Amino acid sequence: MVSTTGLVVAILVVGLLVASVRVLREYERGVIFLMGRFWKVKGPGMILVVPAIQQMVRIDIRTIVMDVPSQDVISRDNVSVKVNAVLYFRVIDPERAVIQIEDYYAATSQLAQTTLRAVLGKHELDDMLSERDKLNADIQTILDGQTGAWGIKVANVEIKHVDLEGNMIR
C-alpha cells in the first residue's frame, strides 16, 4: 500500500514538472501572470510556469511585415486615388503589448489605415507621386508615436502604389 501511494505521488510530481516546462525560442518572450496579475517577462530558453497559479502569453518580438489594404483617398485637390502601403513593426515591450491593448496586430493595422488616409488627404496628387519619402516618414512618425504606448515600434512605412481612379487616367 505504501509503495503504491509513493508511486502515485511520484507520478503526479513528474507530471506537474512536465506540464510546467515551457521553451521560448530566441525570438519569443513570455509574459507571465501570477494569479491573474502581471509578474514578469521571461525568455528566451526553458522556463517553468506553475499550472493553475501562473499563466503565460507568448509574444513574438521579430519584425512583422503588414500589408496595409488599399485605401480610397481624396487628395487636397479633390482627386480620388487608391493607395496601399506596407508597414514594418515589432514588439519592443511585451508587457505593454499584452496589458495595454487587446490585439496589437489588429490595432496597428487599423491605425495604419486611418493614418494613411488622413496624411495623404492633406496633400495634393503631385505631392503623393513626387514626395513619397517625406510622406512615408510622416506616416511612420505618427504611427510610431501612437503605438509606443502599446510597446510597439514602427520601423518603416512604404507607400507601394498610388493608383488613379479609372476616369482620371489620361
Average pLDDT over the chain, rounded to whole?
Answer: 92
Identify the CATH number of the domain defined by range 64-168: 3.30.479.30
Q: Are 152 and 104 in contact (CB under 8 A)?
A: yes
Q: Among residues of the chain, what percentage have pLDDT more than 90?
A: 72
The model carries a pTM of: 0.85
Average pLDDT for residues 51-70, to the nearest whole number? Answer: 95
Under 8 Å between Cβ of 79 and 168 = yes
Q: Which residue has the higher pLDDT, 16 or 140?
A: 140
Mean of pLDDT values over 128-154: 94
Q: What are the residue ranges of CATH 3.30.479.30 in the chain?
A: 64-168
169: phi then psi, degrees, rounded to nearest 5: -75, 135
Q: How confident is the model at residue 166 (pLDDT cuts 50, 70, 90)?
A: low
Answer yes or no: is pLDDT of 168 > 70. no
